[in-house]
Amino acid sequence: MNPEISNTRKWITLGITSIATFMGTLNSTIVNVALPVMPKELKVPISIIQWVVSSYLLTTVLLLLVWGKISDIYGKKYIFAMGTLVFALGSALCGFSHTLVMLTVARIIQAVGTSAMFSLSMAIVSGVFPVNERGKALGVVCTMVAIGTIAGSSLGGILVSAFGWPSIFMVNVPIGIVGSILSFIFIPEVCERQENKPFDRKGVIFFSLMIVSLFMGLLLAQQGVLPAIYLVGAIIIATVCLIMFVKVEARVKNPLLNLDLFREKEFSFGLISAYFSFIILNSTMLFIPFYLQDILKFSTLKSGLILAVYPISMGIIAPISGWLSDRITHRPLTVLGMAVTAVAMILLSMLGQKSLTSEVVILLAVLGSGLAIFQSPNNARVMGSVSQNKLGIASGTNALFRYIGLVSGSTFSMMIFSFSSKINISKLAGGFSERLFMHGIFIVYLFDAACAVTSLAFSLIRTERAATLENGI
């Protein structure tokens, strides 16, 4: 960290990056609640309106590594600030859109800005805060990711019902403009530029082909556009592109993604653990609203209040966990967090048609706490395992694994639910067998528990290896 950065400037920087992270994550999910309204106003079939969501997700994921690498070459401050401004511009264009084509193009512009904010937020925070404060600071950013992911539906519902669907985009405009101005003023340039290094165009091409084939397969399978069997073909194509990408990266002098990063087990195992945690985060929230409203017969308001326990518990625990990781290291916390998450998922799978409200509230709070205990120390350790001149690409890679985890969570859980319950996921809103529904989420939540155990295993392996190295064995 630059010793000239004042304490006040550090925390203002954290505030700017945290709000930007929240807004970008929020806009990944806030549109979902407006999808039933948009087709009528835009005069398009409901079957194609989903591209308003898919175009945003795909563009964001495509550019995460690109912005991370560019920022390592040319600096992070101005790319982040311009990304925030582009996000505001895209949001304004979304709000003024009157056709699906215009809205989709506007969402792509919005995603260009979002990807820059996502890719660089953790890199900037890691560069500004010293090691003994980094866990606490990244804990705040993790909280914003979780709250933004989960709060989209409730906040979107309020805005759409009160002001119409354009409001979910227009609310971003003043926040984005102010955030961009504050970024130019307060965010310091934390790393030296490396402008003499060439840009890896071949790597970008193979990476883009891999992401497009993988994400299009996942998204189309999730939406029911293609049968699940076609996902196998998409994964095969993505694997071939990945192999070509690795070969290119191993040969070029300044690769898009330095493969040596993955030789550091703290980095690679931390990303794998995080991937499984985000599968759980997204998968869990897909079915709980249906359980509360259609099985327990709760009102929309009561269901929303119960669901709020999840992000609130994460918001409270994540900064505390980050603060603790600065003092007792990440190791016991990452293991404890995933152990708590695994237990919570097993207990959630046992919920029944007559479960008490208190049971659901307690289990959601335990689940949110477990994920929060894990996320902050894990991110701090992942970012702390790389050198300053690689913070940009490390942050972009971290965000990439997060997004792949979120999309994988929704896709895999929908496929598992449909297969085990024999209920078409697209027809949940039209009534279903309660017995079959409960069997479906039982299997899905056991899958989530298995993901938590897998994440726990990677955390344990990483922990044991680090302890062995420290003891000189």
Task: Express as a percent the part of the chain with pLDDT over 70.
Answer: 88
Mean pLDDT is lowest, of 208-212, 245-249, 319-323, for 319-323
What's the token pair of residue 269? 């195992």
Interval 279-338: pLDDT, tens: 998 788 778 877 887 888 888 678 777 877 887 888 888 888 888 887 777 778 888 999
Sole residue written with tokens 């992401």:
211
C-beta atoms surrounding 237 within 10 Å: 17
- Phi-psi domain of 164 (left: phi exceeds 0; alpha: psi -120 through 50; beta: other): left
Mean pLDDT is lowest, of 124-133, 135-144, 418-427, for 418-427
| Residues 147 and 412 sit within 8 Å (Cβ to Cβ) | no
Residue 467 has pLDDT above 60, yes or no: no
Q: Say what the pLDDT of residue 225 is.
A: 66
- Predicted confidence band at 4 (pLDDT cuts at 50, 70, 90)? low
* Nearest residue to 197 via CA among 84, 308, 72, 77: 72
Q: Say what the pLDDT of residue 47 is.
A: 60
Residue 231 has pLDDT above 90, yes or no: no
Q: At what angle do helices 309-328 and 357-384 cross, to 10 degrees?
A: 40
Please give the mean pLDDT across all residues of the chain. Answer: 82
Q: Say what the pLDDT of residue 1 is.
A: 45
| Residues 195 and 73 sit within 8 Å (Cβ to Cβ) | yes
Residue 64 has pLDDT above 80, yes or no: yes
436 or 141, greater pLDDT: 436
Residue 363 has pLDDT above 50, yes or no: yes
- Predicted confidence band at 226 (pLDDT cuts at 50, 70, 90)? low
194 or 40, greater pLDDT: 40
Q: Say what the pLDDT of residue 471 is.
A: 44
Residue 242 has pLDDT above 60, yes or no: yes
Residue 134 has pLDDT above 50, yes or no: yes
Q: Say what the pLDDT of residue 468 is.
A: 47
* Nearest residue to 455 via CA among 262, 279, 265, 263: 279
Interval 7-38: pLDDT, tens: 888 889 999 988 888 888 787 777 766 776 77
Q: Say what the pLDDT of residue 261 is.
A: 80
Residue 342 CB partners (closer than 8 Å, separation 6+): 370, 449, 452, 453, 456
Q: Say what the pLDDT of residue 429 is.
A: 55
Amino acid at the residue 242: L
Q: Say what the pLDDT of residue 311 is.
A: 79
Instruction: Classify burial at 311, counting beta carbons within 10 Å of its beta carbon; exposed 0-12, middle 13-18, buried 19 or more.
Output: buried
Q: Say what the pLDDT of residue 470 is.
A: 44
222 or 445, greater pLDDT: 445
Residue 84 has pLDDT above 60, yes or no: yes
Q: What is the DSSP string of 280-345?
A: HHHHHHHHHHHIIIIIS---HHHHHHHHTHHHHHHHHHHHHHHHHHHHH-SHHHHHHHHHHHHHHH
Instruction: Classify burial at 158, counting beta carbons within 10 Å of its beta carbon; exposed 0-12, middle 13-18, buried 19 or more.
Output: middle
Q: Say what the pLDDT of residue 448 is.
A: 94
Distance CA(412)–CA(313), nearest Å, equals: 25
- Predicted confidence band at 137 (pLDDT cuts at 50, 70, 90)? confident
Q: What is the DSSP string of 357-422?
A: HHHHHHHHHHHHHHHHHHHHHHHHHHHHTS-GGGHHHHHHHHHHHHHHHHHHHHHHHHHHHHHHH-
